[in-house]
Amino acid sequence: MNGVETARILDGKATALAVREEVAEGVRQLCAAGHPAPGLTVVLVGEDPASQVYVRNKDRAATQAGFNVSTVRLPAETSQGDLEAEIQRLNGDESVHGILVQLPLPKGLDADRALARLDPAKDVDGLTPTNVAALVTGNSGHVPCTPAGCIELLDRHGIELEGRRVTIVGRSMLVGKPFAQLALARNATVTLCHSRTRDLAAECRRADVVVAAVGVEKLIKGDWIQPGATVLDVGINRGADGKLVGDVDFEAAAAVAGAITPVPGGVGPMTIAMLLKNTLDAARTTVGAGGSTGDGSR
């Protein structure tokens, strides 16, 4: 590690702020036209400490953007039936435009079954089967917030994917798989790696763009990065000193990459910004105001 940064830092904090300001302006316009403010309800089951923090941050950001925000807190011992009944109730509540079921759910609850209950129009996390299918087929629907945030970050920094080799490490439904679809829709050549990939270093070395979404501290080494490549680090890990670290060895990678996201302050803030954007779009669609905040993620 030589610690000399040459890469352009993709500042997710500043970019997210710009998106959030645009969303807040969209909310003002919606309200000025006599429509209600977008309503976002987060369903939080149990006491997972990380989830409590995420929900608090989402609540704050949505309130700042002028949303009508609420959190439904359910005890960890909530039954599957009661959770699904709550989701159905929110589906039918006209003041709620976006519903987010905070994951992970406590043991014993089936997240897939719960998510399948969500009205796809209100599924602002883009995880229902209908929205997943829309993403794969190229139809319009809500796109999961983290991969949508990655694309927004690239777009706003003028980094194109067309014809480029994109290697994604991690194949979750939340990040890796939807990002692969978004990159394909941008005409990238996509390689999707995972825990059984044979030579991860070689797969990364060929890439013009590396996306790391694994959850293993500094898994991606500096010498796995092609000079000038773009590196998006989605990982959030708690380092030995208690600080947040990504899946990429940042200093070593920043010495060779063309552009890179830091952790924290990279992809993380974009996720919340895209949640707000999806919810504003849902509210606009409900009132027939159409238009989007400029979704560049298709």
Report the catalytic residues: 58, 102, 125
Of the pair 12, 46, the CB lying nearest ligand NAD is at: 12
Residue listed under structure tokens 């080494």:
221
CB 143 within 8 A of CB 182: yes
Our CB check for ligand NAD shows the closer of 67 and 179 to be 179
Nearest approach, Cβ of 271 to ligand NAD (angstroms)? 3
**What residues from 204 to 243 belong to the interface with ligand NAD (CB under 6 A)?**
213-216, 219, 234-237
15/82 Cα distance (integer angstroms): 39
- From residue 48, how far is each of 118, 201, 243 by CA, in Å? 22, 34, 19
Specify the 3-state DSSP secondary structure of 221. coil
Options 79, 140, 187, 195; binder of ligand NAD; rule CB under 6 A: 195
C-alpha to C-alpha distances, 205 to 222, 226, 266, 290, nearest whole angstrom: 10, 5, 22, 42
Is 286 among the residues that bind ligand NAD (CB under 6 A)? no
- Helix (H/G/I), strand (E/B), else coil: 272: helix
User: How many residues sit in the footprint of ligand NAD (CB under 6 A)?
Assistant: 25
Query: Per rule CB under 6 A, is residue 171 in the interface with ligand NAD?
Result: yes
Q: Which is nearer to ligand NAD, 3 or 198 (CB)?
A: 198
Q: Which residues bind ligand NAD (CB under 6 A)?
A: 146, 169-172, 174-176, 193-195, 197, 200, 213-216, 219, 234-237, 267-268, 271
